[in-house]
Amino acid sequence: MSETPRYRELGLTDSEYELIVEKMGREPNVVELAMFSLLWSEHCAYKHSKKLLGKLPSEGPRVVMGPGENAGAVDVGSGYAVAFKVESHNHPSAVEPFQGAATGVGGILRDVFAIGARPIAVLDSLRFGELDSVRSRHLLDGAVRGIGHYGNSIGVPNVGGEVYFEEPYEHNCLVNAMCIGFAKTEDMVRAAAAGVGNAVVLMGATTGRDGIGGASVLASAELGEGDDSKRPTVQVGDPFEESKVLECCLELLEKGLLVSLQDLGAAGLTSSAGEMASAGGVGIDIDVAKVPLREADMEPFEIMVSESQERMLAVVEPSRVAEVRAICDKWQTGSAEIGVVTDSGHIRILKAGEVVGDMPVDALVDGCPLYDLAPAAPAAWIYGNKQTLSPSANSAATLMALLSAPSIASKQWIFQQYDSIVGSRTVRRPESADAAVLQLPESGNAIAVSIDGNGRKVACEPFNGTVEAVLECAQNLACVGAEPLGLTNCLNFGNPEKPVPAWQLDRAISGLASVCEELGVPVVGGNVSLYNEGPDGPIYPTPVVAMVGELPDPAKTAPSSFVREGDAIGLLGPFTPTMHGAEIAKQRGELEAGLPEPKVAAVAEACATVREAVRAGKVASAHDVSDGGLACALAESSIGAGIGCRADLQDLRERGCTPDEALFGEGAGGFVLSGDRAELEALGALIIGEVGGTTIELAAGDRSLVVGLTDATEAWRSLDAKAESVAEPPADA
């Protein structure tokens, strides 16, 4: 009986192993094999996506830091920059949602302060199976508590996000965490190690066995049966430790005491030391005997691959190490000089002076082969259908079914568990406007941020679906008067070695590149999470995009809710509603492949019109049309205001849609504006109705509906009502 070779157990293929032997000139020992297996995993090496990611436009006059650094950053004027990035923690969250989500937040915070930016906000994008599943309720509850626990404790406000519930995420939930940071441009720092003879200093928490064989390996394999046995490898986070490390690092950077800084995330010391050396074109020696340990008797390979949280790695001139350590002591966080920068071009691991591992840096960090995909489009819709709404239901019942859908309903139950105001920058709190708005008194302006993903529509047609996700993000920014400065993305897909997910990934990246190019929005960083497949198949292909935009005056933004009785309601933009991929098609069980091509240029023009109108105070409210179509957008604006509305969509039908499509169809390019009728007409909006009353009355051709505002509000707030039952096991279990 032959045993599986150890390298295969660690996820390396035969040819990858042979390549390692070739580059090393010999077989790797245990330490070296562990390090290669992690850095050559999909999660760290981007083996199946790197070639495609090269298509994304990443340059622009406002880009301060682009892809390849710990986080991207854009110039917001007056010598200041805003850093941001989004990352996934999908696999750990599916196994242990509280710690998986918490450490996801911890990790993205470190990426941002590693470049010298103070974190000023976090957002999150979450996707679970349908809420009638106990497992999905458990994951939602754990993830929300974990995100709240970490963000609230460390004092960074959670200002926005999105949550969706779809069957294809039942086995593989998505937890994507974003962080925004703020810094003086000249104070920002890069990761590249430099200066032969400089000291390598490890700061923060002690090193234990967290995550050994952890995040990277988990993310390189599909979750199968028995993944409970992966529980011991999930990392545990300590936000208090991180708050001390954060303040310590920012003080060290302010005092100019660090040559470079890198956070420890997936693959721990292996990746951070390796990447610092690679970026700097230098070598590094690390002595594991000098690493402060939480558990005695850890082997060298364990120390090198541990994913213990809240640790940072810095390069420091030898004469300044004492000062660095004194500041770490002041902040009550650990520090140790564990290595030195060399000119060997190798990363050497020592144990009390004896060499236990020696690898060329470029082989370890950049030597992993990159693979081409073998994409093939599916013949038909592969995700199934489930009917929860009869196609013969009347329009009022349909609207209620859409408003109460957990994916559309108010997420107040969730965001009230997050501190959204610490830091005093939050001008627009969650669900008060289409994007979060944060004031930047230091630079005299403000930023807006929105995070938007799309799984179902990308499954319908990956190129167009991705374009639509990006357009929705841009529209959300326009509604608060913001112009996009940059984009970050997290690409959550299935197994790229299989033809359909490969096709989805390829087309989605092409769509992302195309729309960003056309909009002139650079992609300053991002993350890829692959192998999100369970026994039932892959998740919906889910690109999650987040944009940061700037606006000159935080006092001039618009709420998404109507403001007063008597205001006119206008529809602006090239909105051409379709049933393809819409929530109503999902509920009617009529999902199928295909999605119309969005009109990017026309949508961009509408964004500019709305943006300028909001800045000039010409509209009372602005809300983009997305899930649930125009009927839901109008209802949401009414519910938020506590005032009803009347609208007739007959004029919209001239764009060639049925009454059903006019009411409930979806697509990019629709803005619901309210305000003075003459002002709206001057903007080019189609006047469709008026704000007022205590009912929502809509008509389109032979369809019409009247829904009481109280009933609509109750439907939209139904996630609140299901709230505590989300956490507890069902009574009849």
Partner 1 sequence: MKARVLIRPKEGILDPQGKAVERALPALGFEGIGNVHVGRMVELEAENPERLAELCEKLLANPLIEDYEIQPL
Partner 2 sequence: MIWGVLQFPGSCDERDALNACEVVGDEARLVWHEDRTLGGGVDGVVVPGGFSYGDYLRAGAIARFSPAMEAVAELAATGGPVLGICNGFQVLCEAGLLPGALLRNEELRFVCKQADLLDDQGNVLSIPLKHGEGRFYAPEEMLDRLEANGQVAYRYADGHNANGSVRDIAGVRNERGNVVGLMPHPEHAVDPLTGSTDGRKVFEALEKFA
Closest distance to partner 2 from the beta carbon of 416 (Å): 6
* Binder of residue 211, out of partner 2, partner 1, none (CB less than 5 to 8 A by kind): none
The token pair that represents 651 in the structure block? 């004029």
CA torsion angle for 347, 351, 356, 358 (degrees, to 10)? 10
The residue (of 411 and 456) whose beta carbon lies closer to partner 2 is 411
* Binder of residue 239, out of partner 2, partner 1, none (CB less than 5 to 8 A by kind): partner 2
Contact between 725 and partner 2 by CB under 8 A: the answer reads no
Window 711-730: contact mask with partner 1 (x via CB under 8 A)? -----------------xxx
The residue (of 67 and 97) whose beta carbon lies closer to partner 1 is 97
Alpha-carbon span 515 to 121, nearest angstrom: 26
Q: Is 149 a catalytic residue?
A: no
The residue (of 250 and 723) whose beta carbon lies closer to partner 1 is 723
Per DSSP bridges, beta strands 260-263 and 621-624 are unpaired
DSSP string, 36-90: HHHHTSHHHH-TTTHHHHTTS----TTEEE-BTBSSEEEEEETTEEEEEEEEE-H
Q: What is the CA radius of gyration of the chain?
A: 26
* Binder of residue 145, out of partner 1, partner 2, none (CB less than 5 to 8 A by kind): partner 2
Contact between 238 and partner 2 by CB under 8 A: the answer reads yes
The residue (of 428 and 498) whose beta carbon lies closer to partner 2 is 428
The token pair that represents 336 in the structure block? 């140790």
- Beta strands of 500-620 (E only): which ranges? 523-529, 533-534, 537-538, 542-551, 568-572
Closest distance to partner 2 from the beta carbon of 243 (Å): 6
Give per-residue burial for 58-78: e unless 16+ CB within 10 Å, then b: bebebbbbbbebbbbbbbbee
The residue (of 240 and 381) whose beta carbon lies closer to partner 1 is 240
Catalytic residue among 48, 89, 149, 580: 89
Alpha-carbon span 190 to 200, nearest angstrom: 15
The residue (of 359 and 448) whose beta carbon lies closer to partner 2 is 448
Contact between 70 and partner 2 by CB under 8 A: the answer reads no
Contact between 244 and partner 2 by CB under 8 A: the answer reads yes
**Which range binds partner 2 by CB under 8 A, 352-360, 412-420, 615-623, 691-699?**
412-420
Residue type, 483: E
Residue of the chain from 166, 419, 461, 583 that contacts partner 2 (CB under 8 A): 419
Name which of 417, 385, 505, 352 is nearest 153 in CA terms. 417
Residue of the chain from 133, 206, 385, 417 that contacts partner 2 (CB under 8 A): 417
Closest distance to partner 2 from the beta carbon of 436 (Å): 12
CB 538 within 8 A of CB 588: no
Closest distance to partner 2 from the beta carbon of 311 (Å): 17
Closest distance to partner 2 from the beta carbon of 639 (Å): 17
Closest distance to partner 2 from the beta carbon of 417 (Å): 5
Window 672-711: contact mask with partner 1 (x via CB under 8 A)? ----------------------------------------
Residue 488 has a CB neighbour count (10 Å cut-off) of 26
Residue of the chain from 54, 155, 197, 384 that contacts partner 2 (CB under 8 A): 155
Contact between 555 and partner 2 by CB under 8 A: the answer reads yes
The residue (of 297 and 732) whose beta carbon lies closer to partner 1 is 732
Residue type, 25: G
Contact between 228 and partner 1 by CB under 8 A: the answer reads no
The residue (of 686 and 723) whose beta carbon lies closer to partner 2 is 723
* Binder of residue 419, out of partner 2, partner 1, none (CB less than 5 to 8 A by kind): partner 2
The token pair that represents 705 in the structure block? 């509906």
Alpha-carbon span 32 to 113, nearest angstrom: 30
Residue type, 595: L
Residue of the chain from 165, 301, 418, 664 that contacts partner 2 (CB under 8 A): 418
Binding residues for partner 2, rule CB under 8 A, total 32
Window 179-208: contact mask with partner 1 (x via CB under 8 A)? ------------------------------
Closest distance to partner 1 from the beta carbon of 108 (Å): 30
Window 262-301: contact mask with partner 2 (x via CB under 8 A)? ----------------------------------------
Helix 30-39, helix 268-280: angle, nearest 10: 70
> Which 385-424 residues touch partner 1, going by CB under 8 A?
none
Name which of 521, 682, 505, 507 is nearest 603 in CA terms. 521
* Binder of residue 387, out of partner 2, partner 1, none (CB less than 5 to 8 A by kind): none
Q: Is 43 a catalytic residue?
A: yes
Contact between 97 and partner 2 by CB under 8 A: the answer reads no
Name which of 434, 418, 349, 415 is nearest 633 in CA terms. 434
List of residues 6+ apart from 210 with CB closer than 8 A: 233, 234, 235, 236, 306, 307, 308, 309
Alpha-carbon span 661 to 86, nearest angstrom: 34
Q: What are phi and psi of 694, to 5 degrees?
A: -120, 15
Closest distance to partner 1 from the beta carbon of 134 (Å): 10
Helix 321-330, helix 239-254: angle, nearest 10: 140
Residue type, 260: S
The residue (of 166 and 210) whose beta carbon lies closer to partner 2 is 210
Alpha-carbon span 99 to 85, nearest angstrom: 20
Q: CA 562, 568, 572 angle in degrees (round to 5)?
A: 85
Q: Sheet with 63-65: list strands edge to edge.
A: 63-65, 72-77, 80-88, 174-184, 118-128, 158-165
Residue type, 600: V
Window 477-506: contact mask with partner 1 (x via CB under 8 A)? ------------------------------
Residue numbers at the binding site for partner 1 (CB under 8 A): 728-731, 733
Residue numbers at the binding site for partner 2 (CB under 8 A): 145, 148-149, 152-155, 238-241, 243-244, 331-332, 415-427, 439, 554-555, 724
**Residues with active-site annotation:** 43, 89
